[in-house]
Amino acid sequence: MMRRIDFSMYGGDLTAVVERGLAELPRVPPAEERIVMIGGLPLRGHAVLAPMAGVCDHPFRWLCRRAGAGVVYGEFVSSDGLVRGHETARRMLRHTEDEHPIAIQVFGSDPAVVGEAVAMIEAAGADIVDLNFGCPVKKVTKREAGSALLRNPTLLGRIVRAAADAAKRAPVTAKIRAGWDVVNAEEVARIVEGNGAKAIAIHGRTQKMGYAGQANWEIIRRVKETVRIPVIGNGDVFQPADAFRMLDETGCDLVMVGRGAQGAPWVFAGINARARGIAVPALSWRERLDIAAAHLALMLREKPSGVAVMQFRGHLGHYVKAMPGSSTFRREVFAIDEPDVVLARLRAYGEELNGVPAVAAGAHAPSTEVEA
């Protein structure tokens, strides 16, 4: 029998936890007047949430969208898994109406299978179907998928064509890296555009680099000069100033924020506030911990408590990064399995830090999490 969880300190249920955190989460909508057309789909604002495996589930997407992300991307899903009817893969297509516009990213190496998967993703209600040609992780590349396809531009082009032909409503886009071990992003971008994709996102590192070193934004600029479709820049955007520097230096149409949004979904509010010429919302440590608690509460609404607590640990490390005493706090909380105790510790830690100056909202240090 599942143990009854005591949330009495938050008003008796998870709703109070969520409401408290949402009250602290800055909300600055994308600028209505700034529109980027992806095929026939108008996207507003300057910044979108990147697809990140193990991160971009519904609660995280929803927080980012609420804060002001112009588009949110789901976790990438296997085309083979979808077509074979794997429940885990199909569950990754689920989303809610208040997440729109939402993009679902798919990976695979068989054009026919990818095409079939694209039709399924479109039928599930995705506004954009994105093709993953950027994941550097070995379990993906050993299947000749993800960034491995940068070594085989001909096959990559066939996959884009099959996907574009399969989609009847949603625009098909692609996300690439600078290359595998040598830069061939301009060649790949031309192939992506020539086979029917309506936009391309580019991460300014090669597969060989992983997430080491610095993303080369010059490559993003060269791709922008190469194609006519919208270009979305990605790599090393950790705070609002980074987003506008990328826009200025590369001429890209949108900025894709991945690791910079982990533990800081409010980064999108900061970007939108800067675009509007208003003050970037300032958050105290306590307010950030209230948002973290809301994040966990949203996860608990959808998942078994043990699963939610375990998965939340991956987010918590980012929320508390740079907080005074965070190493000790993190070790303590990582040893706790009971969600009500985790929530209580988040609340208590926030009270301990009340009045302690915090770094500017949206400021974020790099992490090592994997973007798809």
Catalytic residues: 135
What single-letter DSSP state applies at residue 370? P
Q: How far apart are the first and last CA of the chain?
A: 38
Instruction: State which amino acid sits at residue 305.
Output: S
Supply the DSSP string of 144-159, one letter for each residue.
T-GGGGGG-HHHHHHH
Angle subtended at Cα 170 by Cα 166 and Cα 171, rounded to the nearest 5 degrees: 90
Query: How many C-beta atoms lie closer than 10 Å to residue 15's C-beta?
Result: 13
| Ranges assigned E (strand) in 166-222 | 172-179, 200-206
List phi, psi (to 5°) of 21: -70, -40
Residue 305 in contact with residue 318, Cβ under 8 Å? no
Q: Give backbone dihedrals phi and psi of 231, rounded to 5 degrees, phi first.
A: -115, 130
How far apart are alpha carbons 174 and 363 in whole angstroms? 28
